[in-house]
Amino acid sequence: MRFEVVTLFPELIASHMSFSIMKRANDSGIIDVITHNPRNYTLDKHKKVDDTPYGGGAGMVLMPQPYVDCYNSILKTKNSITLMMTPQGEPFSDKLSDELSSYQQIIILCGHYEGFDERIRDIIKPREISIGDYVLTGGELPALCIIDSISRKIEGTLGKIESAHDDSFTEGLLEYPQYTKPRIYQGLKVPEVLLNGNHKMIEEFRFQQKLLRTKNKRPDLYEKYINKDNPSAT
């Protein structure tokens, strides 16, 4: 999987790729994260990438020429999709992450300042994605959320011990509670059922905990789950 990120701040992307699971996936070639900086495509001697909005208003707007030229310099592979990070986009979710994980190349457009000149959208026609109903200072953090989430779904990124199988959301439920050593901490005990080695009982306990947690913490997801094809969960 190749991620190509169009960004004015490539260091923000590189920084996340230098640690832990993402570093391992990048080093081993399971994923490849490349950045492209529109500032290198300006025709202006001051390397200007933004300007004030026509019609007035606060902030600066990303100019179309450096951005579009930068995008056009990226070699597109056959199975490629282009995403734009914007609070106006469709909400990102585990389902969308699954869908995107089937692409060979994902090009991600990050904005900064007040936003993109509308002609960047008109020309590139990206799929617009939001990571939530709030506004961040730029698209790099949303891009990293998406890269991280999709990468976890790619065979080989997670080791056996970090399996994505039991993740929250994979079947529409939150994850069950986890415990490790010691057995008792500040008087709080690890549930007995997890210590007895009966895998069937452990599985049932964990499933019930998933239901309970989802019902308490995310009643919206719980309703969806039981109304879908799991009425026996009630």
Active site residue ranges: 87, 114, 152, 167
Closest CA to 120 of 38, 12, 59: 38
**Token pair belonging to 207:** 């499933």
Could you say whether residue 136 binds ligand ADE (CB under 6 A)?
yes
Within 8 A by CB and 6+ apart from 198, the residues are: none
Q: φ and ψ at 97, to 5 degrees? A: -60, -45
Q: Which helix (H) or strand (E) holds 33?
A: strand 32-36
Whichever of 79 and 88 has its CB closer to ligand ADE, that residue is: 88
Distance of alpha carbon 48 from alpha carbon 3, whole angstroms: 26
Q: Among all chains, which residue has been given the structure tokens 């026996």?
A: 232
Whichever of 81 and 190 has its CB closer to ligand ADE, that residue is: 81
Q: How far is the CB of 13 from ligand ADE (least distance, A)?
A: 14
| 3 state SS of 218 | coil
Whichever of 129 and 211 has its CB closer to ligand ADE, that residue is: 129
**Token pair belonging to 168:** 């929250």
Distance of alpha carbon 186 from alpha carbon 179, whole angstroms: 14
Choose one: 18-26, 47-55, 80-88, 117-125; the region binding ligand ADE (CB under 6 A): 80-88
Could you say whether residue 135 binds ligand ADE (CB under 6 A)?
yes
Could you say whether residue 86 binds ligand ADE (CB under 6 A)?
yes
Could you say whether residue 158 binds ligand ADE (CB under 6 A)?
no
Could you say whether residue 139 binds ligand ADE (CB under 6 A)?
yes
Could you say whether residue 5 binds ligand ADE (CB under 6 A)?
no
Whichever of 64 and 115 has its CB closer to ligand ADE, that residue is: 115
Query: Which residues of the chain form contacts with ligand ADE (CB under 6 A)?
Result: 85-87, 130-132, 134-136, 139, 142
